[in-house]
Structures are given as structure tokens and as C-alpha cells.
């Protein structure tokens, strides 16, 4: 039924989140998340917004990552706080089934960073990462690819598996970065602020609200 589509759910709750890391290579041995920003929304109403800088004693931000994110150790040393407190606060929303989780390249990056965030805390976190939240997740990178390639969700498709297939889709000329999506959907953005997690999730949500009119989700 059409009224079940996200575009018509005016009171739907969303959690938009993003990690920034100290290395551009996802699997680099010393990679760590240093920024976690998230916003809890109900429609267009902000429930809560947080911008955590995660304090690690041995953080080593690569020059390439620092250039892209605007990272500085002086600002980091002033703002960084307990990563366990940030994780607990974040997971209060992440594992709340009322919220659909939104982000750009979540399946290719941020899901792994969340898992790493937990691992780095060692004994301060109990149990393995619970990935159940993935079944209520929308990766706007995957959706952008689907829209551009006209790949529909067929009835009976597993939505998560469908998104993972799109996450792995790489084609020459297929441009679906967050910046490109802003251009595609006429979402104003300041290129000098890109790759700040808090800024990225703000424009990401604006993109999401427009792209759901181009695909039935």
C-alpha cells in the first residue's frame, strides 16, 4: 500500500549517523574512528543531535585523512571525550526498533567503524556486535546507485541483501558520492565543510528526503 512508503510516513523516526576516521584505508591496521555524529529525528523534528570526538591515547591521524576532514590535534585534545560514553548513547538509538538508520556508505564503511569502535573498548564492552539494526537501515549510496541504474526492489526481495549487492556495484561513470547526490537533488552544501560528520549527516538527511520520491521504499 502506498501509505506504507517512507515518503508518506510523516512521523517516522530516523537515526542519521556518520563516523570519521584517522585513515582513509578502511582496513589499515591503526585505523580508528575519531568522530561520531548522529541525529535522531521524527519527520523534520530533531529529537537529539550529538557530535562526539572519541578520545584514544594512541590516535594517529594520517596526513591524507587530516586534510580531507580538517582534523587538528589541538581541537581534538580539547573536545575528545570517553568513547564508551559516546557508544552507549549512540546504541540507545541504534538498537531502538522505532528508528530507521540512515547514512551514506554505511554498509561499505560505517558499519565496520561501529564494530571497530566496540572492539577498541575491549573489556569495557560486553559481547559481540549485534548487527540486527542492519535490517532497519537505508544506505543512501546504495539507493542512489539503484535510482541511477533503474534497479528496482522486487516483491519478496531481502532489502538488506539488495542493498549489499548495490554497495558492491562499481561502474565507470557511476557517480554517487554524497557531494554528487547533493548536486543531483539540489541540496545546497559547502564543500569546505564536507567530511565533518555532523555536517555530512545534515545534508545526507536532506538528500534522503528527496531521493525517496524517486524510488519506492
Q: What are the tens digits of pLDDT across the range 171-204?
A: 999 999 999 999 999 999 999 999 999 999 999 9
Specify the pLDDT at position 2: 58
Do residues 216 and 10 make contact, with C-beta atoms less than 8 angstroms apart? no
This prediction has a pTM of 0.95
Confidence bin at 1 (pLDDT 50/70/90): very low
In a domain, 147, yes or no: yes
CB 20 within 8 A of CB 69: yes
Cβ atoms of 40 and 47 closer than 8 Å? yes
Which DSSP string do the residues of the chain spell out, in sequence order? -GGGSGGG-TT-EEEEEEEEES-SSTT-TT--EEEEEEEEEETTEEEEEEEEEB--TT----HHHHHHHT--HHHHHHH-B-HHHHHHHHHHHHT-TTEEEEESSIIIIIHHHHHHHHHHTGGGS-SS---GGGGGEEEHHHHHHHHHHT-PPPTT--HHHHHHHHHT---TT----HHHHHHHTT----GGGTT-HHHHHHHHHHHHHHHTTSS--
What is the tally of structural domains in the chain?
Answer: 1
Q: Does 25 have pLDDT greater than 90?
A: no
Question: What percentage of residues in the chain have a pLDDT greater than 70?
Answer: 99
Domain membership of residue 184 as a residue range: 2-211
Query: All 3 cell numbers of residue 119?
Result: 572492539
Structural domain includes residue 197 = yes
Distance, CA of 63 to CA of 13 (rounded, Å): 37
The residues, ordered by sequence, that sit 6+ positions from 5 with a Cβ below 8 Å of its Cβ are 212, 216, 217
Q: Is residue 116 part of a domain?
A: yes
Which are the contacts of 200, defined by CB distance < 8 A and separation ≥ 6?
18, 37, 104, 178, 194
CATH of the domain at 82: 3.30.420.10
pLDDT, tens digit (0-9, with 9 covering 90-100), for 38-51 = 999 999 999 999 99
Q: Residue 126 pLDDT more than 90?
A: no
Asked, for residue 177, whether it belongs to a domain, the answer is yes
Residue 217 lies in a domain: no
Task: Please tell me the distance from the alpha carbon of residue 206 to that of residue 54, in angstroms, as a whole number.
Answer: 26
Is residue 9 situated within a structural domain?
yes
**Which pLDDT value is given to residue 155?**
81
Asked if residue 15 belongs to a domain, the reply is yes
Q: Is residue 216 part of a domain?
A: no
185: CB partners within 8 A, 6+ apart = 206, 207, 210, 211
Amino acid at each position: 500500500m502506498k501509505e506504507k512508503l517512507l515518503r508518506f510516513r510523516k512521523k517516522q523516526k530516523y537515526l542519521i549517523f556518520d563516523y570519521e576516521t584517522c585513515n582513509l584505508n578502511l582496513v589499515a591496521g591503526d585505523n580508528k574512528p575519531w568522530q561520531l555524529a548522529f541525529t535522531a529525528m521524527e519527520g523534520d523534528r530533531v529529537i537529539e543531535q550529538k557530535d562526539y570526538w572519541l578520545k584514544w591515547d594512541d590516535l594517529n591521524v594520517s596526513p591524507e585523512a587530516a586534510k580531507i576532514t580538517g582534523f587538528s590535534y589541538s581541537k581534538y585534545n580539547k573536545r575528545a571525550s570517553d568513547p564508551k560514553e559516546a557508544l552507549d548513547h549512540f546504541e540507545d538509538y541504534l538498537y531502538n526498533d522505532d528508528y530507521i538508520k540512515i547514512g551514506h556508505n554505511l554498509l561499505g564503511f560505517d558499519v565496520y567503524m561501529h564494530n571497530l569502535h566496540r572492539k577498541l573498548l575491549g573489556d569495557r564492552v560486553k559481547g559481540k556486535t549485534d548487527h540486527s539494526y542492519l535490517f532497519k537501515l537505508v544506505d543512501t549510496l546504495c539507493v542512489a546507485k539503484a535510482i541511477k541504474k533503474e534497479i528496482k526492489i522486487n516483491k519478496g526481495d531481502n532489502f538488506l541483501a539488495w542493498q549489499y549487492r548495490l554497495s558492491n556495484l562499481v561502474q565507470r561513470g557511476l557517480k554517487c558520492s554524497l557531494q554528487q547526490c547533493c548536486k543531483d537533488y539540489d541540496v545546497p552544501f559547502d564543500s569546505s565543510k564536507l567530511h565533518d560528520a555532523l555536517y555530512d549527516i545534515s545534508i545526507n538527511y536532506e538528500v534522503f528526503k528527496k531521493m525517496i520520491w524517486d524510488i519506492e521504499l
